[in-house]
Structure 1
Amino acid sequence: MLESKIENKLKIEVKKRGGMALKFVSPGLAGVPDRIVLMPKGKVAFVELKAPGKKMRVLQLKRKKQLETLGFKVYLIDSFKAVNDFIQEMML
């Protein structure tokens, strides 16, 4: 399965629930997650999308740790099931 299919599923599921899955691009700072997800009730999360079985690169892991140190949640999503699990957690 392609990463783009998983990303599209994420965008659709977030939008269905009144949220936004914004593309995250940070000029001058490589390795940031692919999406910032904003959900109702002020819930915010960063999402790195990968094709099934693919791993985060070293720089992506560094950025993940930096964001988590600041108190943000960072998710790795690599399947439709992971999208559904993410949505469930964000809706709690």
Structure 2
Amino acid sequence: MATGKRREAQVEQRIIDRAKEHKGTAYKFTSPGRRSVPDRLIVCDCTPHELRPLFIEAKRPGQVATKSQEREHKKLRDRGATVFVA
């Protein structure tokens, strides 16, 4: 890339690649009619008897989650979900 900065799509691709390395699946997560949901839902076998979903919000370097995204992440975490911003 000419500017030397990674785009969000490149960050998402890295998330997909890392999920595959760990025998997981990275779903593009959208929720029609609901904004600010995380970009990716990762499902991987963390232990032999546990299937654990992870939500990941992709941001290009230097960017942070918006206030509305932070609120949505809190709602998910309050329900026991694991949410990361990458």
More strand by percentage: 2
CA distance in 1, matches of 2:58, 2:23: 21
- RMSD over aligned CA atoms reads 0.9
More helix by percentage: 1
Q: Secondary structure at the match of 1:42?
A: strand
CA distance in 2, matches of 1:66, 1:26: 15
Equivalent residues, number = 77
Instruction: Please say if 1:62 is aligned against 2:67.
Output: no
Structure 1 consecutive aligned stretches of length 4 or more whose deviation exceeds 3 Å: none
- 1:16 Cα shift? 2.2
Provide TM-score, normalisation by structure 2.
Answer: 0.85
Letter of the structure 1 residue corresponding to residue 35 of structure 2: A
| Structure 1 residue ranges without an equivalent (≥5) | 78-92
CA distance in 2, matches of 1:47, 1:28: 19
| Structure 2 residue ranges without an equivalent (≥5) | 1-5
Instruction: Tell me which structure has the larger Cα radius of gyration.
Output: 2
